[in-house]
Amino acid sequence: MRFEVGGEIATITMDRPGKRNAQTFATWSALARIGRTLPEHVRVVVIRGEGPSFSAGIDLRMFSPEGLPGQGSFASAAALDGETFLARITEAQQGFLWLRRPDIVSIAVVQGHAIGAGFQLALSCDLRILADDAKFCMKEPALGLVPDLTGTKPLVEIVGVAKAVEICLTARNVGAEEALRLGLADRVVPRAQLDEAVGELAAALLTTDRDAAAATKRLLLGAPERTLEEQCAAERAEQAVRLQALFGKAGAEGNG
Ligand code: CAA
């Protein structure tokens, strides 16, 4: 995995194209570490994968008795006591959760396949730009597992429960055009134009005020859990802070 920072944009690149950027526990630890140590000035985080596919999901060696060198297998994980096993999944989920933080906007750049953990990684980002050959697939149920890397909630929020059930329980491919129609993609472009499209989106995201953007994202993220009255109160509270920051106490009182 490569991590590069250019100005206010950080780029994380999964760099195992020969294995279609298959993910391991080490991938998720590395992601979590990047989240913990992200430079404060970064506002946009771009996640991409080298080669023909964004990510083919979990490394299938996890299903073999030998597992991954130094990381075990599903069989060895299943043999752990319940608490240790759950702690292991919690730890893996940390690699995904930070991408929703209000102080950043995360963008997944998806070409080719995004399967299982690859689809969930894309879902954990705020926005998804797809190449026209992109395909999402929630393969876990076909393998006897459930998606457990934080992807089920954003999937349901974006496509609704019925479509999420259909997509997950058939484990079918969702192509780029359908993804766009369902709201799973913000934009679909020819593969050769991916970099340009990401650059344009990142630049547009950087045109807004940093603190106002974070406050707005906090509001939007909290909206589904709140009643209208609660959301209105949250808007008032955030605006009071913005006005205080911009104009001092008098301004905040004048607009309360
Ligand atoms: N793990 C490990 N290696 C993988 C891999 C994976 N998930 N996916 C692909 N590879 C390897 C292949 O073994 C092959 O390696 P060699 O060249 O050494 O033989 C190499 O990557 C290229 O693979 P393909 O020749 O198959 O490439 P392709 O472009 O024709 O097809 C693909 C790409 C459709 C992604 C196909 O490789 C594929 O279906 N991979 C498996 C996908 C999968 O089932 N992933 C698990 C999803 S479930 C999950 O993530 C979460 C979970 O279980 C908890």
Q: Could you count the other beta carbons within 10 Å of the beta carbon of residue 91?
A: 13
Give the Å distance between the CA of 22 and the centre of ligand 1: 7
CA distance 110 to 141: 22
Enumerate residue ranges in the chain where pLDDT < 70: 249-256
Tens-place pLDDT, residues 12-31: 999 999 999 999 999 999 99
Q: By the 8 A CB rule, do 151 and 123 touch?
A: yes
Supply the DSSP symbol for 140: G
Ligand 1 atom nearest the C-alpha of 140 is 48
Phi then psi for residue 149, to 5 deg, are: -110, 45
CA distance 95 to 125: 11
* % of the chain surpassing 90 pLDDT: 90
Phi then psi for residue 12, to 5 deg, are: -110, 125
The predicted structure's pLDDT at residue 123: 98
The predicted structure's pLDDT at residue 72: 87
Tens-place pLDDT, residues 150-178: 999 999 999 999 999 999 999 999 999 99
CA distance 58 to 12: 18
- Closest C-alpha to ligand 1, atom 39: 56
CA distance 182 to 239: 32
Count of positions (residues) in the chain: 256
Q: Which amino acid is at 145?
A: L
Give the Å distance between the CA of 28 and the centre of ligand 1: 18
Supply the DSSP symbol for 62: G
Ligand 1 atom nearest the C-alpha of 57 is 50
Give the Å distance between the CA of 117 and the centre of ligand 1: 12
Q: Which of 15, 16, 20 to mutate for ligand 1's pocket (most ligand atoms within 8 Å of CB)? A: 20
- Closest C-alpha to ligand 1, atom 21: 19
- Closest C-alpha to ligand 1, atom 41: 56
Tell me which residues have their CB closer than 6 angstroms to ligand 1: 19-20, 22, 52-53, 56-60, 113, 115-117, 139-140, 143, 145
CA distance 85 to 90: 9
Label residue 146 exposed, middle or buried (CB < 10 Å: 0-12, 13-18, 19+): exposed
Tens-place pLDDT, residues 128-157: 999 999 999 999 999 999 999 999 999 999
Q: What is the mean pLDDT of the chain?
A: 95
Q: By the 8 A CB rule, do 189 and 131 touch?
A: yes
Give the Å distance between the CA of 20 and the centre of ligand 1: 6
* Alpha carbon separation from 190 to 63, 107, 135 (Å, rounded): 35, 17, 14
CA distance 118 to 20: 10
Instruction: Enumerate residues 6+ apart whose C-beta is below 8 A from 113.
Output: 20, 52, 53, 54, 55, 56, 134, 135, 137
